[in-house]
């Protein structure tokens, strides 16, 4: 790339999409996000990138070790780095203020790319199944209109719009049709791609919609992202085996040592990044009854490679009223498969769907294990509103994120498209 192309990240979340683009060589101008805890994560990651690029990486390491506070970390980076993280809800009442702040970050530059995806609950199949109104009337259904207003103002060469698979079927495809009309009206053509994270080196079964948009007056060769497929020889155990053994309720937020040397998968995909500082390997506590169910689920998988059906449990262990659906509500993350089940934000509420495959540990996944399934590097620290261990906030951010490895491959493809190669 001759010059670093830049981007604005809307509905940025914890920054998974952004991280992939930065790793591919793009420069972030600003991130806009409504959740305070996610904004703190974005600030910490912005501090990491600044310190690393200015050969001050040891300061960030000190933070991961717990030797300095978050406030002290932030004082080590220029204000403009932190001010590029904008904590505000995107909408008519805030757009002017948000855009003023973006303009300040942008200076005399022009925007090359806008990336991001509005909250997916309004389009997701699970969200619609749990909603009495099928999410109709939810204002989040039309956040793409707000997204389009930023296209109109900044006129990027291209944009990347990420969302869940349910977008294609929500209200019989109505929202997707409306999106195309709105984006077209703003001067952009679009192409929809259905991508699977496991084709991008991510050890997780995760399908997502990626809409690529480009200015109608530009001649571009849009490559088919669906044809990208990375051959994987790895199994889920390759991202679990180097971590210390912990039981339910155990682990350290900052910091602990790895159990073994790095694995080939972690090294080749830069998840361990050469550092020997492990953070957020923290497991939630569980009730004795749940731990008993976890053992049954793991043993069933180990002996027969069969999933636990909730209705097959002894009656004394069945406490859920719903016996007609969600039979797999207790599910093992199988170590001997090439990918896990989809990591979603519900992991913040309980870990039943993400049981660790080692029955001796008898717990659900730790924060770091979930982050690795999403392909976040180990030096990526997930913040809460307040400083310190924030397991629930971290799980929610991880479950809502775009896997950085997938984002990186998309970004590398867009470099070729924008440069006309």
Cα 248 to Cα 281, 292, 370, 397: the distances in Å are: 11, 12, 15, 21
Which of 7, 13, 5 has the alpha carbon at shortest distance from 32? 13
The SS3 of residue 396 is helix
Task: Measure the CA–CA gap between 4 and 11, rounded to whole angstroms.
Answer: 22
120 catalytic? Reply is yes
The dihedrals phi and psi of 121, each to the nearest 5 degrees, come to -55, -35
Which of 211, 244, 234, 259 has the alpha carbon at shortest distance from 410? 211
What dihedral do alpha carbons 44, 378, 359, 235 form, nearest 10°?
140
Dig out the tokens for 73 from the structure: 């970390």
Which of 253, 255, 260 has the alpha carbon at shortest distance from 282? 253
Segments in 259-326 forming alpha helices (H): 264-268, 288-304
Dig out the tokens for 21 from the structure: 């683009």
Task: Measure the CA–CA gap between 399 and 28, rounded to whole angstroms.
Answer: 23
Query: Which residues are within 8 A (CB) of 113 and not within 5 positions of it... i.e. 6 or more apart?
Result: 5, 6, 7, 8, 21, 26, 156, 157, 158, 159, 160, 414, 418
Task: Measure the CA–CA gap between 159 and 21, rounded to whole angstroms.
Answer: 12
Q: Are 282 and 252 in contact (CB under 8 A)?
A: yes
Task: Measure the CA–CA gap between 337 and 301, rounded to whole angstroms.
Answer: 11
Query: Which residues are within 8 A (CB) of 38 and not within 5 positions of it... i.e. 6 or more apart?
Result: 12, 13, 14, 15, 397
Q: Are 331 and 355 in contact (CB under 8 A)?
A: yes
Task: Measure the CA–CA gap between 338 and 233, rounded to whole angstroms.
Answer: 8
**∠ CA 289-291-293 to the nearest 5 degrees?**
75
Q: Are 28 and 370 in contact (CB under 8 A)?
A: no
Q: Pick the catalytic residue: 120, 266, 371, 373?
A: 120
**∠ CA 280-270-351 to the nearest 5 degrees?**
35
Residues classed as catalytic: 120
């Amino acid at each position: 790339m001759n010059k670093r192309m830049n981007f604005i990240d809307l509905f940025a979340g914890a920054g998974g999409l952004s991280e992939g683009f930065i790793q591919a060589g793009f420069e972030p101008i600003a991130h806009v996000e409504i959740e305070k805890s996610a904004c703190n994560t974005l600030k910490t990651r912005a501090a990491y990138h600044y310190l690393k690029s200015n050969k001050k990486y040891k300061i960030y390491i000190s933070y991961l070790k717990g030797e300095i506070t978050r406030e002290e970390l932030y004082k080590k980076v220029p204000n403009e780095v932190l001010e590029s993280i904008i904590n505000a809800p995107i909408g008519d009442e805030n757009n002017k203020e948000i855009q003023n702040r973006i303009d300040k970050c942008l200076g005399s530059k022009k925007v090359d790319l806008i990336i991001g995806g509005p909250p997916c609950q309004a389009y997701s199949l699970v969200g619609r199944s749990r909603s009495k109104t099928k999410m109709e009337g939810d204002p989040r259904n039309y956040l793409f209109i707000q997204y389009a207003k930023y296209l109109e103002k900044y006129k990027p060469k291209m944009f990347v719009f990420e969302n869940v698979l349910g977008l294609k079927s929500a209200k019989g495809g109505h929202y997707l049709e409306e999106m195309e009309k709105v984006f077209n009206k703003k001067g952009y053509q679009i192409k929809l791609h259905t991508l699977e994270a496991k084709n991008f080196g991510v050890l997780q079964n995760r399908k997502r919609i990626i809409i690529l948009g480009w200015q109608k007056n530009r001649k571009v060769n849009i490559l088919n992202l669906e044809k990208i497929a990375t051959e994987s020889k790895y199994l889920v155990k390759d991202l679990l085996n180097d971590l210390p053994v912990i039981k339910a309720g155990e682990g350290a937020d900052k910091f602990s040592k790895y159990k073994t040397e790095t694995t080939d998968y972690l090294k080749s995909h830069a998840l361990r990044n050469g550092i020997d500082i492990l953070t957020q390997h923290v497991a939630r506590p569980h009730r004795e009854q749940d731990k008993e169910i976890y053992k049954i689920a793991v043993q069933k998988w180990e002996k027969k490679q069969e999933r636990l059906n909730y209705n097959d449990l002894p009656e004394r262990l069945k406490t859920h009223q719903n016996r007609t659906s969600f039979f797999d509500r207790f599910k093992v993350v199988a170590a001997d498969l090439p990918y896990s089940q989809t990591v979603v934000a519900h992991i913040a509420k309980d870990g039943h769907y993400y049981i660790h495959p080692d029955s001796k540990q008898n717990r659900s996944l730790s924060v770091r294990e979930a982050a690795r399934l999403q392909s976040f590097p180990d030096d990526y620290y997930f913040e809460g509103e307040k400083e310190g261990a924030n397991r629930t906030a971290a799980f929610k951010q991880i479950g809502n994120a775009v896997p950085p490895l997938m984002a990186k491959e998309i970004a590398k493809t867009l470099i070729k498209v924008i440069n006309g190669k």
